A and B are shown apart, each in its own frame.
Chain A
Amino acid sequence: MFNISNLTVSVEDNEILNNFSLDVGPGEVHAIMGPNGSGKSTLAHVCAGKEDYTVLNGEINLNGEDLLDLEADERSTKGLFLAFQYPIEIPGVTTLTFLKSSLEAHYKANNKEVLSTPDFMKLVKKKSAELNIDDSMIKRPLNVGFSGGEKKRNEILQMALLDPEICILDETDSGLDIDALRLVAEGVNNLRNEKRSFIVITHYQRLLDYIKPDFVHIMYNGKIIETGDSSLALELEKSGYNNYIK
């Protein structure tokens, strides 16, 4: 379904990802854990099509199609979603306008009929209520003045609206208190189904108490150095990364 193979990526002549490979099947949840600077966000950005990186080698395939030649917007409309570690604030564009443009772009790219404005509003209201997002928040400029929790809930709202096949969550738990964490995790769990897959990037085992992964990978120096099931996360929590880093 979603396959990353032998991906080598550099930034300003520093190799950040080093022959990285990962296969994600339909409906699977993969957690990627690793110390700061191991390349987790870089991986997420490269998958989503950020341009500051040089891909030296490898492929990223979604349903057999190589994403590397596609623009970020095309990757999105083909079913990839990245929940940002640091969602961007955009003054002057309301969250609602942004959601509408984004959803319309998806419908257009996939030759679907664009929702009427009332239907769009209904959909947004329903999805945002599930995430405890109130009307006033979606009328505000995108992420501007949002608290950490509001920003992350907004990311999950976008994910819920865009109905992606592969979701990459980059430290969605960082900066959240326990209530916000529970809400966000519930939002993610509601979206789990036999087709949709997740790559959950996190520092802490905590999130994985709520979002139960099928696989846990430890990433270090731009590649996966250990893979296991959810018990690996628990072990890691106890013993720290040092046991795995050679």
Chain B
Amino acid sequence: MLTEEKNINVEEQVVAYCKDNIINQDIKHPLYPARLGAYELFRAHGLPTTRNEQWKYTNISSKLERIPSQSDVKPVPVNLDNFINNFEIVKKAKENKDSVLVFMDGAMQSQLSIVNTDTKTVSVTSLKKDPIPDWAVKLNSEKHSQNVNEMFNLNTALMEDGAIININNNKGIADNIYIIHVGNNDGFYNYRHMINVQNGAHVNIIEFKISNKVDIEALYTSSIIWQIGNNCVVNNVKYQAHNQITIGFNQQYADIANDTEFNSFTISSGSKLLREFRDINCNGSNSNISISGINLLDGDSHIDTMLSVKHKAPNTISREKYKSILNDNSKGVFQGNIIVDDIAQKTIAKQSIDALILSKNAEHDAKPELEIYADDVQCGHGATTGQISQDSLFYLKSRGIPEEEAKRLLVHAFLTDALEEIKDKKILETFADVMNNMLNRVSKGNLNV
């Protein structure tokens, strides 16, 4: 079979790439044991196939044909500085003295980044700098030792750079940290952020991932590992707009202690293939989390979200609300697991996955799964797939609203309750323009079904 052959080819390429990478690593580096272990695991299992239940609807080999060849020199282009500074959001962030961390092709750009040192509550280093803080080494090896996720292992074996962020504030005033990642050159990039939110800290972390040009062929793996303490408020919004040839595998792990609020919202658009893996653990009681998002897919984009929320202590609340809009030949996949341990009494867990399909050939598969071992819980899930209602469209048009604007209103209406999961009103405002642009694109697209 042709696809099998392809898979074996690209898999061999990836294994060889890992091997070269491992040989070049310093064996005394504190992350080396994790790297080596991850490499061995990856070599043993290879790339996941659709036989793996977690990859049932996503065939990597049909999307990933090769490792994109990398240009030897990767200079920071003169225009990148301009590009970043032209970002309205970055301008505002700088004015507000927020921290802005800039990455290009997986590598931190210290000369373009600013860390607010005034408050002494945020400290940032990178994976490339020595010494790696002890907590980061520990977190890394913990996650690695329990891990069976192939793409995470690949990321561990290959990770080159990433932000290591420690937040230690306790006055109830949130630190704002922007992480901006620009894809600027063809190639294979691997990075990992680790974020330690100490007891009582409030933080907003806003990530942007964008392709600078439409023809950059990037393959990447990225991971974020969150360690969140007691009594924290963490708002995380990630906006990723890749071009149509980027392939990305994102892993997010979060461990959440007691009495903490964690809201993580993802807006994704574009990509040839994008995998969003999330593993969220409510380890302490009385925490309240929302893992939600919006996917906007067109062309041949394929976005696969694999979400697992584990309630491991009593009295925790989780909400997952995802809305997808699919056009052209795009495909969306959502697998959402909610696991409630036997001690996690009084858990409230709600999941809703809705898709709005705008074309004949777009497809959305949603598979919710509940594993509940406690008896006193409220858990529910629902999934819908629908189209724009012609009656609604006619009603709006009959009031003079042109078709494009009417569709925009209806698409926005569909997204509204998901957007409400962005709990920080300032962040929501920040995203108003971004959302508007996105909606313009959707309503201007060839939506004529």
Q: Which residues of A contact B (CB under 8 A)?
A: 48-52, 71-73, 75-77, 82, 84, 87-88, 90-93, 97-98, 101-102, 105-106, 109, 141, 158, 162
Given A88-B391, A92-B413, answer yes or no on A49-B400 (Cβ-Cβ < 8 Å): no
Chain A residue numbers with a CB within 8 Å of B397 are 49, 71-73, 76
Given A92-B413, A92-B417, A93-B409, answer yes or no on A102-B392 (Cβ-Cβ < 8 Å): no
B window 372-405: CB within 8 A of A: 389-392, 394-403, 405
In contact, A92 and B412 (Cβ under 8 angstroms): yes
In contact, B405 and A101 (Cβ under 8 angstroms): yes
Select A106's contact among B400, B405, B409, B413, beta carbons within 8 Å. Answer: B400
In contact, B416 and A73 (Cβ under 8 angstroms): no
Q: How far is the CA of A21 from the CA of B400 in the complex (A)?
A: 25
Select A109's contact among B391, B400, B412, beta carbons within 8 Å. Answer: B400
The 6 closest A-B pairs by CB, nearest first: A92-B413, A76-B400, A72-B397, A102-B399, A88-B395, A105-B400
Given A88-B392, A92-B417, answer yes or no on A162-B400 (Cβ-Cβ < 8 Å): yes
Chain A residue numbers with a CB within 8 Å of B389 are 88
In contact, B399 and A93 (Cβ under 8 angstroms): no
In contact, A98 and B396 (Cβ under 8 angstroms): yes
In contact, A102 and B400 (Cβ under 8 angstroms): yes
Indicate if B226 sits at the interface (CB-CB under 8 A).
no
Select B401's contact among A51, A73, A82, A91, beta carbons within 8 Å. Answer: A73
Chain A residue numbers with a CB within 8 Å of B416 are 92
Closest Cβ of chain B to A75, distance in Å, is: 8
B window 202-217: CB within 8 A of A: none
Indicate if B114 sits at the interface (CB-CB under 8 A).
no
Indicate if B370 sits at the interface (CB-CB under 8 A).
no
Q: How far is the CA of A48 from the CA of B395 in the complex (A)?
A: 10
- Contacts A/B (CB < 8 Å), 12 sampled: A49-B397, A51-B390, A51-B394, A71-B403, A73-B406, A84-B395, A88-B389, A90-B395, A92-B415, A105-B399, A105-B401, A105-B402
Select B410's contact among A82, A90, A158, A162, beta carbons within 8 Å. Answer: A90
In contact, B398 and A101 (Cβ under 8 angstroms): no
Beyond known contacts A73-B401, A91-B413, A98-B409: 5 more, CB 8 A cutoff: A73-B406, A92-B412, A92-B414, A105-B399, A105-B402
